[in-house]
Amino acid sequence: VSVAFPTAAAGSTGANRATGALSSEGEQRERQLLHRVNGCLMSGEILSVLGPSGSGKSTLLRVLNRLFPIDGGKIQFKEQPLESWPVTELRRRVSFIAQQPAFFPGTAEENLTYGTRLWNLPCDPVRLMKTVRLEADLLRQPVDTLSGGQQQRLALARSLALDPDVLLLDEPTSALDIHTTREIEEMVTALAGRERKGVIWVTHDPEQARRVSQRLLLLDEGHVIADLPKDAFFSDKAGAGVRSFLAISDGSNGGKEVEK
Ligand SMILES: Nc1ncnc2c1ncn2[C@@H]1O[C@H](COP(=O)(O)OP(=O)(O)OP(=O)(O)O)[C@@H](O)[C@H]1O
């Protein structure tokens, strides 16, 4: 898929989508946020998406559940064009979990069961809490009294309540300590294996990607630099772009560009 974002002055036309060049009027510019990103996610597979800050990782997640429109190419989910899915149904099946999940004021349980009540689906809050390794006692607690790690797990449980096929995780552990991070990594890898859920995991951390995923996609300025199985990605044969990214990634790459 390709995604361009018009930073347009109203009424101007003719921007060059491919290059982001100025239009003939000199007023409009379109920035290409993703360039021909191509790929396929299998059920049970965890794909990590890596790249410097601003490389298009979150944009890619957003287009996959139609939070952001594409302007070229196509996306299919279960062999059906994405746009043929009712958007609420799509977002139930392809569940986006943000870096800092949003909740409405109320208890953990009210938040957890909101979607299943909306969809009229059965829900077992205690079982879901167990799946994400949270104490069932927390269900009665106002959601804003939960810690960051507990909230991230609750967000995961809230998604799992709707039995999605795909989880889109946008740096889900970036605000968490190493212990909670490892717990969430183990939980998600177990879930993907056991329940055959496809997972796209955006992370800044190559070591996290190495721990959780079978395949890694490296983006830079919206371009795919590499899309490789884990062993190949971390091997000497991965190519200059990957090597340069890994060389500058010491947990934080400071938004530097990688060699294309
Ligand atoms: N709604 C938007 N309108 C205009 N530009 C946007 C929008 N969303 C993202 N962008 C731009 O698209 C580019 C990619 O952003 P994106 O958030 O996908 O990057 P990222 O790789 O997830 O970065 P980070 O690691 O910092 O979260 C950035 O240059 C950003 O400024």
pLDDT digits (tens, 9 = 90+) for 32-47: 899 989 999 999 999 9
Q: Is residue 119 domain-shared with residue 55, that is, in the same domain?
A: yes
The pTM of this model reads 0.86
In a domain, 216, yes or no: yes
Pocket test for ligand 1, best of 7, 59, 63 (most atoms within 8 A of CB): 59
Q: Say whether both 27 and 49 belong to one domain.
A: no
Answer yes or no: do 30 and 45 share one domain. no
Q: Is residue 71 very low, low, confident or very high in pLDDT (cuts 50, 70, 90)?
A: confident
Q: HEC states along 58-88?
A: HHHHHHHCCCCCCCECCCEECCEEHHHCCHH
Residue 110: per-residue pLDDT: 96
Kindly give the distance from the C-alpha atom of residue 119 to the centroid of ligand 1, in angstroms, as a whole number.
32
Would the ipTM clear 0.90, i.e. be above it? yes
Same domain as 75, residue 47: yes
| Number of domains, the chain | 2
Range of the domain at 49: 40-248
179 in any annotated domain: yes
pLDDT digits (tens, 9 = 90+) for 103-160: 999 999 999 999 999 989 999 999 999 988 899 999 999 999 999 989 999 999 999 9
Same domain assignment for residues 72 and 195: yes
